[in-house]
Structure 1
Amino acid sequence: MRTRILILLLILMMLPQAGEAQCAMCRAVVESEVGGDTAEGINNGIVYLMAIPYILVGGLFYFVYKKLRN
Structure 2
Amino acid sequence: MYTKDLRNKIKAVEAPRKVKKNGKSCLFSLLLILVFNLFSLSANAQCAMCRAALTSEGNTTKAAAVNDGIVYLMAIPYILVAGIGYAVYRMKKNKSS
Query: Shorter-chain TM-score: which interval?
Result: 0.5 to 0.7
The one of 59, 62, 66 equivalent to 2:83 is 59
Q: CA RMSD in A?
A: 1.8
User: Across the two proteins, how many residue pairs are aligned to each other?
Assistant: 49
> Equivalent residues in 2 for 1:1-70 (5 A)?
23=47, 25-70=49-94
Question: Which residues of structure 1 form unaligned runs of 5+?
Answer: 1-21
Q: Percent identity?
A: 59
Whichever structure has more helix as a proportion of its residues is 1
Whose Rg is larger?
2
Higher relative contact order (CA 8 A, sep 6+): 2
Q: Return the TM-score normalized by structure 2.
A: 0.43
Deviation string for 1:39-58 (max 9, x for gaps)? 11111111101210110010
Question: Which residues of structure 2 form unaligned runs of 5+?
Answer: 1-45
Q: Return the TM-score normalized by structure 1.
A: 0.57
